[in-house]
Amino acid sequence: MALMVGLMAGCTTVKYEAPPLPAVDEAPQLYVAPIEQKYNLQVGDALAIRSYFDSQLNQEVVVRPDGRISVLLVGEMLVTGTTPEDLASKIKAAYRPLVGDTDLTVAVTRTSGMNVYLSGEVKVPSLLQMDGDLTLLQAIARAGGTLASANTGNVLLIRHRDDGGLQVSKVDLEKVLRNEASDVFLRRRDVIYVPKSDIAQAGQFVDQYINAIVPRFVQLQLGWSWNKSRVTNTNPVIQIQSP
């Protein structure tokens, strides 16, 4: 008995109860395709710097992990957090003492941050490129759907806030599938985590802490059984026979 109590105590976890996602009437912006008013450059973005009247200034650059790019005749520039328009003005100001006033545009040819991440009880944990509007249900479908062990009533949506923090909300995917709740549109860098169901966690406990640790003859005396749908103990009395 002491052995079993010790094993159970070792499995104790602290659960975080995420608040449910607000309803449509409370936060309608969550249920329409997001449109960002401005785009701030970030690490990994590919940029095309173009001048119509001075083609020698044309160049292709990629924002490095330190947030900087190398600009012809100018050198290093920190660009993360600025918009393409602001960067074009900054480069034109740097060129003015060298080549005079010139036309210049900065175009983002590839973005690195337009991704969402899926983890947990999905068939293919994935990093998905957002090549258009994408909802939570569509993202899970692109990841092959959920596993039989998934708790689809408590899917976690983890979103980056503008202040740098994280917002964690719970989505009842079963209600979405039954058309009792609206599907939510995802934003770049969203993380979707599908947890295990209680029965799957119980099965994992049996496999890791009973089957792997408790000797087989003790298991038989305990009366534990596992049939992939429930865990039962048919014999509440522990009897351990001497070898």
Q: For residue 67, which phi and psi values (nearest 5 degrees)?
A: 80, 10
Mean pLDDT within 44-56: 92
pTM here is: 0.61
Mean pLDDT within 229-233: 47
State the pLDDT at residue 24: 83
Mean pLDDT rounded to a whole number for the chain: 79
Q: What is the CA radius of gyration of the chain?
A: 27
pLDDT band at residue 215 using 50, 70 and 90 as cut-offs: low
Instruction: Using alpha carbons, select from 155, 157, 38, 60 the residue that is nearest to residue 107.
Output: 60
Q: What is the spatial distance between Cα 134 and Cα 23, in angstroms, rounded to a whole number? A: 19
What are the start-end ranges of the H helices in the chain?
2-10, 84-99, 136-142, 173-177, 198-205, 216-222
Mean pLDDT within 100-129: 89
Is the pLDDT reported for residue 66 higher than 90?
yes
Instruction: Using alpha carbons, select from 234, 233, 149 the residue that is nearest to residue 198.
Output: 149
State the pLDDT at residue 135: 92
More confident residue, 7 or 140: 140
Residues in contact with 182: Cβ distance below 8 Å, sequence separation at least 6, in sequence order: 24, 31, 176
Is the pLDDT reported for residue 107 higher than 70?
yes
Mean pLDDT within 230-240: 43
Is the pLDDT reported for residue 191 higher than 60?
yes
